[in-house]
Amino acid sequence: MDNNIAIQLENINKTYVLHDRGNTIRDRFLSVFTGKTTRKLQALNNVNLEIKKGEFFGIIGRNGSGKSTLIQIMNKAIPPDKGGLVKVNGQSMLLALGLGFNSELTARQNITLCSSVLGMSIAEIKERMAEMISFAELDDFADTPVKYYSSGMKSKLMFSIAVNAEADIFLMDEFFGGVGDQNFRKKADEVFHNRLVKGKTIVHVSHQVDTIKKYCDRVMLLEMGQVVMIDTPEKVLQNYK
Amino acid sequence: MIFPVIFSTFTQLLERSMALKISKSFRNRLERIYLFANTDYYVRYYGSKLGILWAFLNPFFQILIYYFAFSYLIFRQQDPSFILYLFTGVITWQFFSEATKSAISIFQRQRFILQNIGLPKVDFFWSLLASKFWGYLINFIIFILFDIALFHPVFSIRLIYLIPIWLGLAMFTLGICFYLSTFYIYLRDLDHLWSIVLMAGFWVIPIIWDSSIIFEGYEFMMWNPITAFLVQIRQVTLHNEIPDYQYLGLGLTVSFVLAVSGYLFMKYKSKKALEFL
């Protein structure tokens, strides 16, 4: 794999097998007598893509077009169908609403766990802990279990970890849709504009046209699991409308 | 907390020794395993008022209940050292049953991190094993102190035989954990079935009954790795004898095969864990 490439996808198909019955021993036993109770749903169809290191790449498409499935495949959280190839150069982190934390643990403990998984040592985490908490604007709630946080607070915390623990690849799935706080959105703007995440690769999945237009170097338009086009934001957004 | 102190001393010692230079990624992995193990302990015990004490109170009361039930109510067993026999059985069984029960839903519990940041799934199992074995070790130390205080036993260098026995026990437990957690992805009520298996296992394994008096036709009950390890643990700790190499060797072989095959099974069959759970 070329060292300048952050993510390479070749021949990516994804078929979900939907079970009409539940997934228990009883259901498995009953299906022997009642026959097949599964249906197939093709979520992605022959997607090929290369994202360069340091690129701000957008993915746009309507609900059900396969955007989130694609980003989960990039994060290696789910596998593509047989024959598909996923190569990722660096440590990626998915930023999505409602994901990412052990709700029983405090912000401090979640920062420690996630940062360690992203490659930081315990000593480094201790050193940067105050900075991460203050970046997320959670100084007064650092020792409160995350289960008491609002979704906005969780998003801030997640963004702070990704920026400060220096994930190589940020995979953002409709991430800024959930951060209602204008001050924090401004801060995120600064992060991207001042290139605090310089050299980092960002994949931004959204159907918010303004953020795509504002940040992305290239954009992919997905429709029914298929790539319609990959081009500059202006050209792709013309087709999307 | 004592755990971080032990851990950092351990890694510092390793780093300082000339022969073992730990690479940053390996050190990071060790730290990650430690952090997950520590989290497991924290989530389990720190929410309750007595906290970590529950890890010791539970087996303590279990031993006391069985001791009084079997010494005074059922068998009229008057040998006071019977409590040591029970002690080793209960804590060893508790290690196995707690680890396997906890492993069943491990991917579901850890999906918060699996979904966001890719990491080798096997690390969760190392953490689980470390956390449960830590509890077992502390219970074992309490057992040794209890034995010394009340029964004045003779311990010798033969205690070193506990290392291969524990290694076998850990491999067997790990193998079962790999299989259970992977099957759970496709069979969501496996935890109920497993609790029945554990209930039966408690009586199949010589935790309470005397393994030296086995009824004719029931010898097969001795041929499982947990029994093999438990019998050897008692041989070493209660009788200061060397283990039966053939019996232990067989247990170790079966456990090794189970751990390796379980790992491969988990690796290839758990890829769709996040889709199903």
On the question of pLDDT at A241 being above 60, the answer is yes
On chain B, the residues whose CB falls within 8 A of the CB of A119 are 25, 28
Q: Which is nearest to B89 in space by CA: B242, B194, B226? A: B226
Q: Who's near B44: CB < 8 A, 6+ residues apart?
A: none
Q: How far is A195 from chain B (nearest CA, A)?
A: 23
On chain B, the residues whose CB falls within 8 A of the CB of A24 are 187-189
A119 three-class SS: coil
Q: CB distance from B23 to chain A under 8 Å?
A: no
Dist. CA A97–CA A95, nearest whole Å: 7
Contact state of A116 with B31 under an 8 Å Cβ cutoff: yes
Contact state of B116 with A99 under an 8 Å Cβ cutoff: yes
Dist. CA B160–CA A76, nearest whole Å: 43
Dist. CA B5–CA B259, nearest whole Å: 30
Q: How far is A241 from chain B (nearest CA, A)?
A: 31
Q: CB distance from B148 to chain A under 8 Å?
A: no
Tell me how long chain B is.
277
Q: CB distance from A38 to chain B under 8 Å?
A: no
Measured on CA atoms in the order A115, A119, A124, A126, is the torsion positive or negative? positive
A38 pLDDT band, cuts 50/70/90, is confident
Pick from A126-135, A160-169, A229-238, B88-97: least confident: A160-169
A104 closest CB neighbour out of B32, B43, B276: B43
Give the model's pLDDT for residue A80.
92
Give the model's pLDDT for residue B92.
95
Q: CB distance from A30 to chain B under 8 Å?
A: no
Dist. CA B141–CA B137, nearest whole Å: 6
Pairing of strands A218-223, A226-231: antiparallel
For chain B, list the strands marked E by DSSP.
Answer: none
Would you state the structure tokens that stand for residue A4, as one six-digit string?
């300048």
Does the pTM surpass 0.90? The reply is no
Q: CB distance from B119 to chain A under 8 Å?
A: yes
Helix locations, chain A, DSSP H = 25-34, 67-74, 107-117, 122-135, 151-164, 182-193, 209-215, 233-240
Q: Which residue of B has its CA nearest to A109?
A: B39
Q: Which residue of B has its CA nearest to A93?
A: B117
Contact state of B188 with A75 under an 8 Å Cβ cutoff: no
Give the single-character DSSP code of A10: E
Q: End-to-end alpha-carbon separation of chain A, Å?
A: 35
Q: What is the share, in percent, of chain A residues with pLDDT greater than 90?
A: 34
A53-112 pLDDT per residue, tens: 888 899 999 888 999 899 999 988 889 999 999 999 888 888 876 667 888 889 999 999
Domain definitions of chain A by residue range: 5-240
Q: Which residue of B has its CA nearest to A159?
A: B116
Which stretches of chain B score pLDDT less than 70? Answer: 1-22, 46-51, 75-78
Q: End-to-end alpha-carbon separation of chain B, Å?
A: 34
B31 closest CB neighbour out of A79, A94, A121: A121
Q: Which residue of B has its CA nearest to A77?
A: B115
The burial class, CB within 10 Å (0-12 / 13-18 / 19+), for B104 is buried
Q: Which is nearest to B182 in space by CA: B113, B104, B76, B77? A: B104
Fold of the A5-240 domain: Rossmann fold (3.40.50)
Q: CB distance from B200 to chain A under 8 Å?
A: no
Q: Which of residues 156-175 of A touch B (CB under 8 A)?
A: 158, 167
Q: CB distance from A92 to chain B under 8 Å?
A: yes
Dist. CA A12–CA A226, nearest whole Å: 10
Strand partners, A230: A220
Give the model's pLDDT for residue A197.
58
Give the model's pLDDT for residue B1.
44
Give the model's pLDDT for residue B128.
94
A174-196 pLDDT per residue, tens: 876 656 677 777 777 777 766 45
Give the model's pLDDT for residue A74.
92
Q: Who's near A241: CB < 8 A, 6+ residues apart?
A: none
Contact state of B32 with A116 under an 8 Å Cβ cutoff: yes
Strand partners, A106: A145
The burial class, CB within 10 Å (0-12 / 13-18 / 19+), for B100 is buried
Identify from B111, B117, B195 which residue to disrupt to test chain A contact, counting A C-beta atoms within 10 A and taking the largest count: B117
B230-248 pLDDT per residue, tens: 999 999 999 888 999 999 9
Contact state of B115 with A100 under an 8 Å Cβ cutoff: yes
A79 closest CB neighbour out of B32, B43, B272: B272
Give the single-character DSSP code of A145: B
Would you state the structure tokens that stand for residue A102, as one six-digit string?
């052990």
Mean pLDDT of chain A: 85
A196-227 pLDDT per residue, tens: 556 788 899 987 788 888 888 999 999 999 99
How far from A112 is each of A14, A16, A108, A154, A236, CA to CA, in Å?
34, 34, 6, 15, 40
Give the model's pLDDT for residue B154.
80
Give the model's pLDDT for residue A18.
80
Give the model's pLDDT for residue B6.
53
Contact state of B116 with A94 under an 8 Å Cβ cutoff: yes
Interval A215-241 mean pLDDT? 89
A10-25 pLDDT per residue, tens: 999 999 888 766 777 7
Q: How far is A12 from chain B (nearest CA, A)?
A: 16
Q: Which of residues 171-230 of A touch B (CB under 8 A)?
A: none
